[in-house]
Structure 1
Amino acid sequence: MNVLLSTAFVLTWSSGFIGAKLGAGSASAVTVLMWRFLPLAVVLGVVVLVFARASWRGLTARDVGRQAVVGALSQSGYLLTVYLAIQLGVSSGTTALIDGTQPLVAGALAGPLLGQYVSRTQWTGLGLGVTGVVIVTAADFAHGGATPAWAYLVPFLGMLSLVAATFLDRRAPRPVAPSVSMTVHCVTSAVVFTALALAAGAATPPAEASFWVAIGWLVTLSTFGGYGLYWLILRRSGVTQVNTLMFLMAPVTALWGALMFGEPFGPQTVLGLAVGLAAVVVVRRGAGRRESGRRVAAPSAARVSGESGRTAPGARTGR
């Protein structure tokens, strides 16, 4: 099941970069994002309030406010930088691979912020992932054309925004139902992007059918698929494993971009894909070994505790 979820996540998250490229041809970034989230927020709000009221029980205004901030960072801030980068001329594959540096940042911060320390094997996998990203990006930079150099910095801001949202959510004092968090995130993004579109005079959608095709693509695949699976896998597998899958976004998106838009896809991208796959395998093996070690250590500690009638030295109590 984890393999199926991971595969679905990689494909649907990558679809967001392709959808941004589709929408960029017919409207500005804020127009696309406004119409991506405004109808969705209305529908989700009605569904949750009518059919899932129980999921809101026990939540405080502070809990909802935290989720609004998480949504502003993980959707509004992240997506705006991705769309702007693509409209500035950065290819979908390069935008995805810059986003692919997220695992290194998240892995470095997971220990001090969440207590989820990264093992040596997992660091090896993260290093492999970075190598794959470098391999893929080298070819794309060679075809940069007239894209300004500073445009390549824009996706980094989005990557940092998503990392911040991830840790803010993981440090929440109590879990929030996915239906609630998704609704709050989408409503927050709808408010942000509607305000930006109105301020820029870009709220009116274009008449082209391609615009609405892009909106349908983004809502179905990217929001419900990629974004929803991100938080689901994050809660089930932890920060390091879900972010390791980000290493696969760049080559997968580059392949999509080559097939749909004629973006460059050569031997370097294939090599980067292979290295990225190796990174995922290594990190997952490292996590599996660490989990096996915990299972072995737990009974031993329990036996010592039972024989002595007190807690074993150094043993941690459950939370």
Structure 2
Amino acid sequence: MNVLLSTAFVLTWSSGFIGAKLGAGSASAVTVLMWRFLPLAVVLGLVAALCARASWRGLTVRDLGRQAAVGALSQSGYLLTVYYAIQLGVSSGTTALIDGTQPLVAGALAGPLLGHYVSRTQWVGLVLGVSGVVIVTAADVSGGGDATWWAYLVPFLGMFSLVAATFLDRRAPRAVGPAVSLTVHCVTSAVVFTGLALATGAATPPAEASFWTAIGWLVALSTFGGYGLYWLILRRSGVTQVNTLMFLMAPVTALWGALMFGEPFGPQTMAGLAVGLAAVIVVRWGARAGGGASRTRRAITPVAEVSRASGSPAPRARTGR
């Protein structure tokens, strides 16, 4: 199940970069994001009111406020920077490559912020993953592009936004169900992007069929698939493992972009993909090996360990999600 979830997560999360490029050809980033989340927030709100009331019982205003902050960072802030970078001319593959540095940042901060021990084997895997990102980044930069130099800094803001959201969620005093968190995050993003679109005069959607194709793509694959699986795997496997999968986003997106948009995909990019796969294998092997370590030097893997470090109880097993 972990392998299937990880594979689905990599594919659906990578689809977000492709969907952003599909939408960038017909509308601004704010317009695409507004119409991605506004109908979705309405549907999820109705489902929560009619079919999922039990999931909301016992939650306080503070719990919902924390989830709104997490959504503002992990959805609104992260996606706005990704879409804006692609709108500025940064390719989907390059944007994914820059976001691929997230695992190293998350791994470095897991110790001081969550009190976790990251094994040496896991650090080797993290460094190996960064090497793969560097290889593919060099291939993309050498291919040239239309974006100005500062446009390549924009995705870094999104990467730090997602890292901050991850740790804010893990330090919550109680676990919130995936259905609740997804609803709160999408409603928060709908409010943020609708406000931005109205303020900038970009709320009216274009009539092109390609725009609505991109919206359907983003809702079905990126939101329900990639974003939902991100938080599910985070709770099942922990911070380090879910973020290590991010190393695969760049080469997978580059391959996807080559197939759909004719973007270059040469031997150097293929080498980066191989190194990224090796990084995931090394980190997962190190996580299993860390299971036998002493309690004071346990590797970051189970949700219970994350919960203990943040002072919160481990979430109970859930079914029917």
The aligned residue for residue 25 of structure 1 is 25
Quote the offset at 1:76 in angstroms. 0.2
The aligned residue for residue 185 of structure 2 is 185
SS in 2 for 1:167: helix
Quote the offset at 1:49 in angstroms. 1.3
The aligned residue for residue 78 of structure 1 is 78
TM-score by length of 2: 0.91
Q: Superposed, which structure 2 residues align to 1:1-319 within 5 Å?
A: 1-293=1-293
Quote the offset at 1:144 in angstroms. 2.8
Quote the offset at 1:145 in angstroms. 2.6
Q: Which amino acid aligns with 1:3?
A: V
CA distance in 2, matches of 1:82, 1:107: 22
CA distance in 2, matches of 1:60, 1:197: 30
SS in 1 for 2:23: helix
2:73–2:162 contact (8 Å) kept in structure 1: yes
Q: Which amino acid aligns with 2:201?
A: G
Q: Which amino acid aligns with 2:91?
A: S
Q: Which amino acid aligns with 1:259?
A: L
CA distance in 2, matches of 1:112, 1:76: 26
Quote the offset at 1:293 in angstroms. 3.1
SS in 1 for 2:292: helix
SS in 2 for 1:23: helix
Structure 2: tracts of 5 or more residues without a match: 299-312, 315-321
1:90–1:144 contact (8 Å) kept in structure 2: no
Q: Which amino acid aligns with 2:242?
A: V
- Provide Cα deviations, 1:65-100, integer angstroms capped at 9, x if missing partner: 000000000000000000000011111001001000
Q: Which amino acid aligns with 1:236?
A: R
The aligned residue for residue 302 of structure 1 is none
CA distance in 2, matches of 1:200, 1:77: 17
The aligned residue for residue 307 of structure 1 is none
1:32–1:215 contact (8 Å) kept in structure 2: yes
CA distance in 1, matches of 2:107, 2:175: 22
RMSD (Å), alpha carbons? 1.4
Q: Which structure has the larger Rg over C-alpha atoms?
A: 1
2:90–2:146 contact (8 Å) kept in structure 1: no
CA distance in 2, matches of 1:161, 1:144: 27
1:74–1:165 contact (8 Å) kept in structure 2: yes
CA distance in 1, matches of 2:121, 2:157: 28
Structure 1: tracts of 5 or more residues without a match: 299-317
Q: Which amino acid aligns with 1:76?
A: S
SS in 2 for 1:206: coil
2:90–2:145 contact (8 Å) kept in structure 1: no
Aligned identity (percent) is 85
Quote the offset at 1:16 in angstroms. 0.1
Quote the offset at 1:23 in angstroms. 0.2
- Provide Cα deviations, 1:188-243, integer angstroms capped at 9, x if missing partner: 00000000000110100000000000000000000000000000000010000000
Q: Which amino acid aligns with 2:253?
A: T
